[in-house]
Amino acid sequence: MCGIVGILGTEPVAAHLVDALKRLEYRGYDSAGVATLDHGKLGRRRAKGKLSALDKRLDQEPLPGNVGIGHTRWATHGRPTEDNAHPHATDRVAVVHNGIIENFRELREKLIAEGCKFTSETDTEVVAHLVTQELKRGKTPMEAVSASLKQLRGAFALAFLFAGEDDLLIGARRGSPLAIGYGRGEMYLGSDAIALAPFTDTVSYLEDGDWVVLTRKTVQVRDANDKLVERPTIKSMASAMLVDKGNHKHFMAKEIHEQPEVVGHTLAHYIDMVHERVALPSEMPFDWKKLKRLSISACGTAFYAGLVAKYWFERFAKLPVEIDIASEFRYRDAPLEEGDLAIFISQSGETADTLASLRYAKEHKLHVLSVVNVPTSTIARDSDVVMPTLAGPEIGVASTKAFTCQLAVLACLAIAAGRARGELSEADEQKLVHALIEVPRLMTQALTLEPQIEKLAVELSKTRDVLYLGRGTSFPIALEGALKLKEISYIHAEGYAAGELKHGPIALIDEKMPVIVIAPHDRVFDKTVSNMQEVAARGGRIILVTDPKGSQESTIDSAHTLTLPEMASTVTPLVYAVPVQLMAYHTAAVIGTDVDQPRNLAKSVTVE
Ligand code: F6R
């Protein structure tokens, strides 16, 4: 994750920008930079490494100016060098950016053909040139930003500073968060309220697709269609807390909404975006080709991430996978072969059952790889290889963003295995990686289903039981949907492989029973439709989660259809997780349970 800050101040801002960046350092710290405007001219200081390096740079070469932007970076496109550090600038505009510009390659080629000279490997630099080209065509800064935003694809947040415009900052949000801070005669932009806490506690949050034009006295927010909109100001509690809820009622809601951003950052850690290849950050101490079997163990939601991964490893790498609930693994005396690989998945990295399984695998001389969200955790420390998920702190007890980040890491790992074992060609890899790069944007689109899901949740909140069905990689998403709903709303829910319905659970179906069917239009779609028919014939109320093709081709009357965009079938688990999480969240919110700390549960389960 990168951190963004902007200040329209009444005194020199460089030191204040660095102060704010220090509070955002948890988001990234491989390089940092600030840009300010001095007598209308853009000036920039950037440095590789932690913020202290930038501080030193500013001591040696101070940067005057009362308006400026700053950035702390977590490398995505391009290595952590000074050239790749933000702000990126031309002589007309400087920009800081958090997120991924999906179509930067096409834009870069187009801009190079127009004569633009690039000095970095980043996707961000295309934004600076794009806006500059629009300015050169005679557009105002506002018009230039509006025209440029329409050409960008991806999930991101941006802040712009313009040469000659001493009373202007522009910010934009699509997928990644951006807050506006209101000071006395000053205005601010920040990735979160924590960054702005030293200056103000009055903030408002841009909604997805919004962009804002700030002067010292005015704030104009526009939506994605450039229509002026109002975004309420709230009093932030950020100064008192390290992690705040933003403008969400619960941490769980905030964490669901953070997914485009954190999944993007996680993917960027494992993918070479320029060449659309998987680039694992660490060497594997084993040869993928020599593995006979992969064993995966985890608990709860992390187990379901492993279940999705089983489909991927078997399909992409033709590697047989055994998957266990961690509490079962070491007691069933499974024959294990020395030198094989065991993967352990855990958000906290402290789950006792998972840790015990890991130690059991080590005793049997398996290579141990963990996918964890807390890199200092015991599971991470005890592993041969650690593949971190970059979800940031997950506060809500029900896991959401950690789950989709686990899927992101596991997808990359399965592709790497497929390549190493000769089962995927370079072109196959590119196709799979390309689909993954689109996930943050697809997740942002999935989040737009929220108003529809809120209405549906009122209905769900009145039921006692809910069934979830899915086939293929949608089966684990059905299991995850049921787990999410039961743990936070206390409504009884079960997930089933859709084909299993007729082997028992069909007896439960009556006109009161909601049946949530996760069915993207993939190669098993027709089979799932047959299973839906079995439900419909018995009067069950179907809630179908599908895509435009699926909703067109399903001949069954569903009580509700949630339509997600078309996407490659390999990435559906990451995107379909979003509506499933929102259904559970809003149902629990209607019922009024303690969403972030549901009864009887703990975030880190350190007992067996
Ligand atoms: C459910 C949930 C739990 C955890 C499980 C494993 O929403 O959060 O099922 O997934 O307790 O925890 P970690 O991932 O910390 O090992």
Q: Which one is predicted more confidently, 381 or 92?
A: 92
* Backbone φ, ψ for residue 50 (5° rounding): -70, 170
Mutate to test the pocket of ligand 1, among 329, 351, 399 (most ligand atoms within 8 A of CB): 399
Sign of the torsion formed by the C-alpha atoms of 314, 318, 322 and 326: negative
Closest C-alpha to 352, from 377, 384, 321: 377
Q: Which one is predicted more confidently, 500 or 194?
A: 500
Mean pLDDT of 155-178: 93
Mean pLDDT of 80-105: 93
CB of 119 within 8 A of CB of 100?
Answer: no
Spacing, Cα 345 to ligand 1 middle (Å): 9
CATH fold of 444-599: Rossmann fold (3.40.50)
State whether residue 162 is helix, strand or coil. strand
Mutate to test the pocket of ligand 1, among 250, 351, 404 (most ligand atoms within 8 A of CB): 351
Q: What percent of the chain has pLDDT over 90?
A: 75
Mean pLDDT of 285-292: 96
Residues known to be catalytic: 2, 603
> What was the pLDDT predicted at 71?
95
Indicate the range of 47-51, 404-408, 420-424, 570-574 predicted with least confidence.
47-51
C-beta neighbour count of 448 within 10 angstroms: 12
Q: Domain map of the chain by residue range? A: 3-241, 244-437, 444-599
Spacing, Cα 299 to ligand 1 middle (Å): 6
> What was the pLDDT predicted at 282?
82
Spacing, Cα 601 to ligand 1 middle (Å): 10
Q: Is the CB of 301 under 6 A from ligand 1?
A: yes
CA distance 132 to 44: 17
Q: Is the CB of 482 under 6 A from ligand 1?
A: no
First-residue to last-residue Cα distance in the chain: 34
pLDDT digits (tens, 9 = 90+) for 314-356: 999 999 999 999 999 988 888 899 999 999 999 989 898 999 9
**What mean pLDDT, rounded, does the chain reach?**
92
Q: What is 494-553 written as a DSSP string?
A: EEEEGGGGGGTGGGG--TT-EEEEE--SSTTHHHHHHHHHHHHHTT-EEEEEE-HHHHHH
b/e per residue, 18-57, with b = 16+ CB within 10 A? bbbbbbbebbbbbbbbbbbbeeeebbbbbbbeebebbbeb
Q: Residue 236 pLDDT > 90, yes or no?
A: no
CB of 388 within 8 A of CB of 373?
Answer: yes
Polymer length of the chain: 608
pTM score, two decimals?
Answer: 0.78
Q: Is the CB of 579 under 6 A from ligand 1?
A: no
pLDDT digits (tens, 9 = 90+) for 20-39: 898 777 666 789 999 999 99
> What was the pLDDT predicted at 240?
46
> What was the pLDDT predicted at 607?
59
> What was the pLDDT predicted at 16?
95
Report which ligand 1 atom has the smallest distance to the Cα of 379. 16
Indicate the range of 27-36, 91-100, 158-167, 392-401 predicted with least confidence.
27-36
Sign of the torsion formed by the C-alpha atoms of 478, 582, 344 and 357: negative
CA distance 191 to 261: 11
Q: Is the CB of 357 under 6 A from ligand 1?
A: no
State whether residue 388 is helix, strand or coil. strand
Query: HEC string of 15-77?
Result: HHHHHHHHHCHHHCCCEEEEEEEECCEEEEEEEECCHHHHHHHHHHCCCCCCEEEEEEECCCC
Q: Is the CB of 354 under 6 A from ligand 1?
A: yes
Mutate to test the pocket of ligand 1, among 348, 395, 401, 596 (most ligand atoms within 8 A of CB): 348
Question: Do 244-437 and 444-599 have matching folds?
Answer: yes
CATH fold of 244-437: Rossmann fold (3.40.50)
b/e per residue, 311-325, with b = 16+ CB within 10 A? bbbebbbebebebbe
Q: Is the CB of 571 under 6 A from ligand 1?
A: no
Residue where the block lists tokens 């990168």? 2
CATH fold of 3-241: Glutamine Phosphoribosylpyrophosphate, subunit 1, domain 1 (3.60.20)
Q: Residue 242 pLDDT > 80, yes or no?
A: no
Mean pLDDT of 400-408: 98
Q: Residue 90 pLDDT > 50, yes or no?
A: yes
> What was the pLDDT predicted at 556?
79
Kindly give, in sequence order, each residue whose CB lies less than 8 Å from that of residue 458, ignoring residues fewer than 6 positions away.
590
